[in-house]
Amino acid sequence: MELDLLWTIAQRELREALKNKWLWFYALAFAGLALALSQAGLAAAGYAGLGGFGRTAASLINALLLFVPLMGLSVGAGALAGDRERGTLLYLLAQPVNRAEIFFGKVVGAALALIAALTLGFGLAGLGLASAGDGNAMAYLALAGYTFLLALASLGLGFIISALTRKGATAAGAALIVWLALVFFGDLGLVGATLAFRPTASTLFTLLVANPLQVFKLAAIYSLRATLDTLGAVGQYAYYEFGNALPFLLTGLLAVWTLVTFGVAFAIFNRRGDQ
């Protein structure tokens, strides 16, 4: 695999991804929502102006759980399916490049665009939140790092969808369904399993980390130095079972999600070719 060819394809994919208006809309919407949550949190305390990061941490995490998977899935879903529909993918495959260079070039370009959009959102939100002077910079940076990992895992899921579909509209619809399943049905399914089967804390923790969004939630709460007791028996089990190794475990799980999803997507793309 030649890095020069891979980077050329990555640059082309980066330019295409940066033209996605929805990507920037989500990023700016996240930044605006973070500022609005901060202002609302401080207003509720009887003050005016912007509040610190600590006042809006829980709401900010919930906002990230909505926006970030949607961004990653939407960008990834259109990466291969859009080119396949336009015939561009067939043209690329006819060139003296192999499938790995095409696939991973697209991955690098889409990932750079996604990280750029998230950096803009975090930067704007961070400037507003820091203006109060009581923000926690380290916690905010840790939250940003976990968010980037969640975005890459979501992007990998989007690439799986893109590798399986032939049209951009179909891929976009499938991405929306997967997003709904992860965000809403994942929580409902976990609650249903708890009520129906009364699993042990260890079993429930295993079910929870099967969803990358739940892994991110655990990691984000831990990074804020907040107690995991708010997550009930699962949070207490995670803390007492793994202790200070918990953030490394959660980071590793998000990394595994990223590697596995991109690996599966490449295997599908390599088998299907230009079909």
The domain of 146 spans 3-272
Which residue carries 């990230």 as its tokens? 64
Predicted structure pTM score: 0.87
Structure tokens at 172: 């976009």
Which residue carries 């929502």 as its tokens? 33
Phi-psi region of 98 (alpha: psi -120 to 50; beta: other; left: phi over 0): beta
Whether residue 171 contacts residue 83, with contact meaning beta carbons closer than 8 Å, is answered with no
Residue 146 CA: distances (Å) to CA of 140, 200, 240: 10, 27, 22
Query: Which letter, b or e, does each residue of 14-31 get, where b requires 16 or more Cβ atoms within 10 Å of its Cβ?
Result: bebbeebeebbebbeebb
- Quick one: CA torsion of 232, 237, 240, 242, rounded to 10 degrees? -130
Query: Which pLDDT score, from 0 to 100, does residue 47 have?
Result: 44
In order along its 275 residues, the chain shows pLDDT tens digits of 677 788 888 888 888 888 878 788 887 887 777 777 666 655 554 444 444 455 566 677 888 888 899 999 999 998 888 888 888 888 887 788 888 888 999 999 999 999 988 888 888 777 766 665 556 678 778 888 999 999 999 999 999 999 999 888 899 899 999 998 888 776 666 666 667 767 677 777 787 788 899 889 888 887 776 555 666 667 777 777 887 788 889 899 999 999 999 999 999 998 875 55
Q: What is the 3-state secondary structure (H, E, C) of the chain?
A: CCHHHHHHHHHHHHHHHHCCHHHHHHHHHHHHHHHHHHHHHHHHCCCCCCCCHHHCHHHHHHHHHHHHHHHHHHHHHHHHHHHHHHCHHHHHHCCCCCHHHHHHHHHHHHHHHHHHHHHHHHHHHHHHHHCCCCCCHHHHHHHHHHHHHHHHHHHHHHHHHHHHCCCHHHHHHHHHHHHHHHHHHHHHHHHHHHHHHCCCHHHHHHHHCCCHHHHHHHHHHHHCCCCHHHHCHHHHHHHHHHHHHHHHHHHHHHHHHHHHHHHHHHHHHHHHCCC
Query: Which pLDDT score, from 0 to 100, does residue 194 have?
Result: 67
Whether residue 152 contacts residue 253, with contact meaning beta carbons closer than 8 Å, is answered with no
Whether residue 63 contacts residue 146, with contact meaning beta carbons closer than 8 Å, is answered with no
Query: Which pLDDT score, from 0 to 100, does residue 224 have?
Result: 73
Alpha carbon distance 182, 65 (integer Å): 9
Alpha carbon distance 26, 29 (integer Å): 5
Number of domains observed in the structure of the chain: 1
Query: Which pLDDT score, from 0 to 100, does residue 46 have?
Result: 45
**Nearest of 251, 79, 78, 64 to residue 149 by alpha carbon:** 251
Query: Which pLDDT score, from 0 to 100, does residue 79 have?
Result: 86
Query: Which pLDDT score, from 0 to 100, does residue 86 have?
Result: 83
